[in-house]
Amino acid sequence: MIHIITPCHRPDNLNEIKKSIPKECNWIIVFDAVVDAPPKIDGAICLESGKTGDFGAHNRNFALDTYQFAPDDWIAFLDSDNIMHPEWIEAVKPHLDKDIVMLTWGQLNKDESVRLVPVDVPKVCEIDSASFMVKWKHVRDIRWSRNYTHDGEYAEDCATRGRVLALNKYIAYYNYID
């Protein structure tokens, strides 16, 4: 199973995001404390962390600490100002049974220009939260830092646990929703 975690402080974007979530994925939305009346989103698991700030790191960690993932589950992350690329699910499916720590891929700007190339050695400022996913059994004890560079730090930490496979595809967007 693939779980997509969205830390959310922009609930107005959820209906647009929902259209991009593949049906075979489990979408987990973690509402930030700044959201006064979190909406219910059909087909999603909606959680409230009671926390705010730190670029969504608290809310990502809340999902990792609260939800019961199976060892072979994959975890992807999607910010509440972004959508899943329409080719993403078909690109990652052939690799789901592999016993690797992480899959990575390239990222595009909304205008389809390249923002980040695929990497097999994740580094801060060279990877974004939307351009990788991790296998739970290898990273269950790793959490997001409270730094602005938390996505790169998390990816670097996860990559120390084993093999990273970089897909030579551009199947993620950066801040797609204005």
Report the CATH number at residue 77.
3.90.550.10
> Residue 53 domain-assigned?
yes
> Residue 54 domain-assigned?
yes
Classify residue 126 as exposed, middle or buried by CB count within 10 Å of its CB (0-12, 13-18, 19+). middle
The answer to whether 176 touches 120, Cβ cutoff 8 Å, is: no
pTM reported for the whole predicted model: 0.96
> Residue 136 domain-assigned?
yes
Domain count, the chain: 1
> Residue 12 domain-assigned?
yes
> Residue 151 domain-assigned?
yes
| Beta-carbon-side half-sphere exposure of residue 178 (alpha carbons within 13 Å) | 1
Within 10 A of 109 (CB to CB), how many other CB atoms are there? 13
Domain range for 138 is: 2-173
More confident residue, 34 or 54: 34
pLDDT digits (tens, 9 = 90+) for 127-150: 999 999 999 999 999 999 988 899
Average pLDDT over the chain, rounded to an integer: 95
CA proximity to 176, closest of 78, 48, 106, 74: 78
> Residue 28 domain-assigned?
yes
> Residue 178 domain-assigned?
no
> Residue 145 domain-assigned?
yes
> What is the reported pLDDT for 16?
96
Average pLDDT over residues 15-27: 97
> What is the reported pLDDT for 81?
95
